[in-house]
Structures are given as structure tokens and as C-alpha cells.
Amino acid sequence: MKIKISIITILLLGACIPGFAQQVQPDSVYNFSVQDCVNYAYTHQNDVTNAALDVKSAEYHVKEIIGQGLPQLNGSASFDDYIKIPVTLIPGAFIGQPAGTYVPFKFGVTYQSNLGVNASQIIFDPNYIVGLQGRKTYKQLYERSYTRSKIEANVNVTKAYYQVLVSVEQLKLLDANIAELKQEMDETIARNKQGFVEKIDVDRITVQYNSLVTNKENTSRLLALNYQLLKFQMGMPIEDALTLRDKLENIQLDSNLADTTSDTSVYRNRIEYNLLETQKRLNEYDLKSKRGQFLPKLIANANYTASYQNNGFGDLYSANYPSSYIGLTLSVPLFTGGQHINQVRQSEITVLESQNNLDNMKKTVNLQVTQSRTSYINGLQTLNDQNKNRALAAEVLRVAKIKYEQGVGSSLEVTQAETALQEADNSYIQGLYDALVSKVDLDQAYGRIK
């Protein structure tokens, strides 16, 4: 059986799980269904938890945008010690000196201090208005990214869960074959001692028995690795003990799941399409914001300042010379070197690209639906055929044994029949895994996994 685990995944797990085969006392014990494993991944898998944190961060960003439109208050305080008071030259004629001369004159005092409060309020700002309009879309982008992470975790965990179930089923088949072959080997050895069969017959069945035992040992180790892979996909500590509650016979592999009706709007069920839709709306808001740069901005201002001045530090705050004002600031863009118009053109191209991505996603989803439907139907057909082949191989082996016992058949014919049965079992296991994986891919293609 070809178990579909990448070399990178095996190396990663091997590096993360030293002492893999050692007996480790589990920290916790879990008996999970596939849905339990998925729910566990929703709260522990790293990509999902990070996506949830991104949603929280987006909520704070939205509050940040809203806060930009609230009154902005700033306080200020200053203290100056003029070691040398600035000198100003004034015309001498002002104080009775000859015309054309200038007299140095000191203005000010040694110590000065100012305490002030400044307030501003946006009255009209296109960028702020667009920011308010797009805040829900911005948050929605991260919420849908979170949903996508959950869907990916669901798919990966479900496939890993099925892989463990298939490995368990393979071990059951191997155990049954080993038990039957062991009995047959013991009988052949006994007959050889009695002189009824040749030594070569014993050697043939012994080789086959040893091969099955080795195959079982390899499958057992692979099963342990599959458990570690499942825990890895769930975000579960390797030390925890996990047993599976669901059974293969409880999984419905129904051909009706492959809906043959042509639903051209199935792409709307896919989170990938919804994400692109949200990104396009954000790009449209960005274009609207860039166009708003050509409009004026109006901001209201207010200020109150308490001014203290004195030549003596001890008397600095004895007298206050306050000042205050209110006003409006109008900013009108006149010429920016073509920056704004080029920014608008870039944003327009980005919106066009977003629409192209949406159109391409529709085609991609339709193709994925067709591919997954075909793979699922083929997988079911192959699984049914392999199951029939197992039954036929078992019947061929039964007949070959009867013929051999009655002396009209050879041990080589029995050995070949046993090999054929083992190959049929392996093909059945591979077909079972492929059918289960194609079922997950089909559900994902139709957007049934939420």
C-alpha cells in the first residue's frame, strides 16, 4: 500500500518526536470522533489560532479608524531660562537718536513658561469618510480568512483521521492473513515431518509468512506515525494519548454525494471566492480614497495657552498672560506633481485585477467540482471492484487449498493464490483510502465544509 505522506512531513515529525518508539506516559487521554478532532484543531491548531488573533487585531484597527474622527486633544508645557535675553536692533530715531542709527534693545524677561491645550476636529476629510465606509469590509476580510483557516484545518485533520482508520483496517487484514498462514505453515511442517510434502513446500510458505510478519511490523510503525501526523494537524501535544471513536463502517460513501446537477453558482459557497470578493471591495474603497485626495479637507482648531513671564524664578507663576483662539483650517490640493493621478490609475488597475481574479476563481471552482466529482465516482467504482477482487482471490485460495489437500494441486499454486489475495488486500486498502480522501475533496469543492 502506498501511504500518501510526504518525505518532508515524515522528516518534520521525526525531528519533532525524538524517542518516537519509546514508552511515554501520556499527559492526557482523548477518545475522539473525527468531529471532535476538528473541533480540537479549531482551538489549538497554530494557523487557526493566529487567524483568530488577526480578527481581534482587525477589531482594534476598526476602532482606531473611528477614533481618528473624534476630537483630538493635546496638552503642552514649556519652560525657558534665557541665560542671555535676545537683543533686537531698533531705529535710533524712535528714542531720539540720530536718524539712520540703530540701538540694541532687549525684549523679554529671563524666565518664561507656557501651559497650553490644543484641540482639533475633522469636519470634512474624504479619506476618513471612506475609512468609515470600509471598516466593516476590512473586518470581514479577516473573519473570512479565519474561516478559510478553519476549513483547511478541517480538511487536513479529516484526511489524517481517515488515514489512521485505513491503517488500522490494514492491520486487521494482515492479522487475519498471518493467523491463517501460520496455521497452514504449521500443518505443512507437520506433513513434511510425516513425509507427505517436500521441504520446498515448507520453505515457500515460510518465506511468505515471514514477509507478512515484516509487512505487519512496518504497518504498525506507520500507524504510529499516522497517529503523530493526526496530532500534528490537530495541534495536539505528541505526549497526549489519542484513540479514535469513529469506525470505517460508519463513514457513508454514497454516490449521491456527487451531485451531477450543474450548479453554476456553486462558487459562491467557496470561501476562496468570498475572500476575493471582499478583497475587491477593499480595493474599490482604496480607489475611492485615492480619488478623494483631490478634494479639500476642513479641520476645526482651538487653543488655550497660559503664559508666565518673570525675571525672578520664584515669582515666575505669580502672573498669567493667557491667550486663546478658535479657527478653521482649509487644505486644498493644487499641484502634487502628478502623484495623486498616478495613484488613482494604479488603484484602478488593482480593481481590474481583482475582477479578473474573481472571474478566474469561478472557472477554477467549476473545474475543481468536475474533477472532484469524477475522482469520487471513480474511487467508489474502484473500491467496489477491489472488494469483489478480494472475494474472488479468497475463493481462488480456498479452491487451491482443497486441490492441494486432495493431491490434485501444487503448493506453488497455493502460494500464488495467497500472494494474489495479499495483493488484492493491498489494492483494497489503497482504494479505500483514495475513496475517503476523494470524499473530503468533493465536500471541499462544493463548499460543504464550513
pLDDT of residue 259: 64
- Taking a C-beta distance cutoff of 8 angstroms, is the pair 225, 4 a contact? no
- Taking a C-beta distance cutoff of 8 angstroms, is the pair 180, 401 a contact? no
pLDDT of residue 10: 37
DSSP state of 259: -
Q: Look at residues 258, 186, 310, 232 and name the one whose alpha carbon lies nearest to residue 37.
A: 232
CA distances from 413 to 56, 174, 401, 403, 409 (A): 68, 21, 9, 9, 7
pLDDT of residue 22: 42
pLDDT of residue 93: 77
Q: Look at residues 227, 212, 226, 223 and name the one whose alpha carbon lies nearest to residue 175.
A: 212
Using CA atoms, how far apart are residues 354 and 361, in angstroms rounded to an integer? 10
- Taking a C-beta distance cutoff of 8 angstroms, is the pair 193, 202 a contact? no
Q: What is the average per-residue pLDDT within 215-220?
A: 94
- Taking a C-beta distance cutoff of 8 angstroms, is the pair 290, 340 a contact? yes
Using CA atoms, how far apart are residues 182 and 190, in angstroms rounded to an integer? 12
Q: pLDDT tens digits, residue range 67-98?
A: 999 999 999 999 999 988 888 888 877 777 88
Place of cell 467549476: 366
- Taking a C-beta distance cutoff of 8 angstroms, is the pair 101, 256 a contact? no
C-alpha cell at 141: 476580510
* pLDDT class of 169 with cuts at 50, 70, 90: very high
- Taking a C-beta distance cutoff of 8 angstroms, is the pair 390, 428 a contact? yes
Using CA atoms, how far apart are residues 31 and 312, in angstroms rounded to an integer? 82
Lateral strand order in the sheet of 323-331: 72-81, 111-124, 297-310, 323-331
Complete DSSP assignment for 35-73: HHHHHHHHHH-HHHHHHHHHHHHHHHHHHHHHHTTS-EE
- Bridge partners of 328? 300
H or E element, residue 275: helix 271-291
For residue 18, pLDDT over 80 is answered with: no
3-state secondary structure 192-212: HHHCCCCHHHHHHHHHHHHHH
Q: What residues contact residue 366 under an 8 Å CB cut-off, 6+ apart?
A: 264, 266, 267
Burial (CB < 10 A; 0-12, 13-18, 19+), residue 180, is middle
Half-sphere exposure of 107 (CA within 13 A, CB side): 4
Percent of the chain with pLDDT over 90: 67
Q: pLDDT tens digits, residue range 284-318?
A: 999 999 999 999 999 999 999 999 999 888 888 88
Using CA atoms, how far apart are residues 79 and 66, in angstroms rounded to an integer? 35
Using CA atoms, how far apart are residues 316 and 352, in angstroms rounded to an integer? 65
Report how far Cα 301 is from the mean position of its chain's Cα atoms: 46
Q: pLDDT tens digits, residue range 328-356?
A: 999 999 988 889 999 999 999 999 999 99
Phi, psi of 406 (to 5 degrees): -90, 0
pLDDT of residue 250: 83
- Taking a C-beta distance cutoff of 8 angstroms, is the pair 400, 417 a contact? yes
pLDDT of residue 8: 39
Half-sphere exposure of 302 (CA within 13 A, CB side): 6
In three-state secondary structure terms, 109 is coil
Lowest-pLDDT choice from 95-104, 204-213, 236-245, 433-442:
95-104
| Three-point CA angle 160, 162, 165, nearest 5° | 115
Q: pLDDT tens digits, residue range 252-276?
A: 887 676 665 556 678 899 999 999 9
Average model confidence (pLDDT) across the chain: 88
pLDDT of residue 266: 86
Domains of the chain: 7-68+125-295+334-445 (1.20.1600.10), 71-123+296-332 (2.20.200)
Q: Look at residues 237, 221, 235, 308 and name the one whose alpha carbon lies nearest to residue 50.
A: 235
Q: pLDDT tens digits, residue range 358-416?
A: 999 999 999 999 999 999 999 999 999 999 999 999 999 899 888 888 878 788 888 89
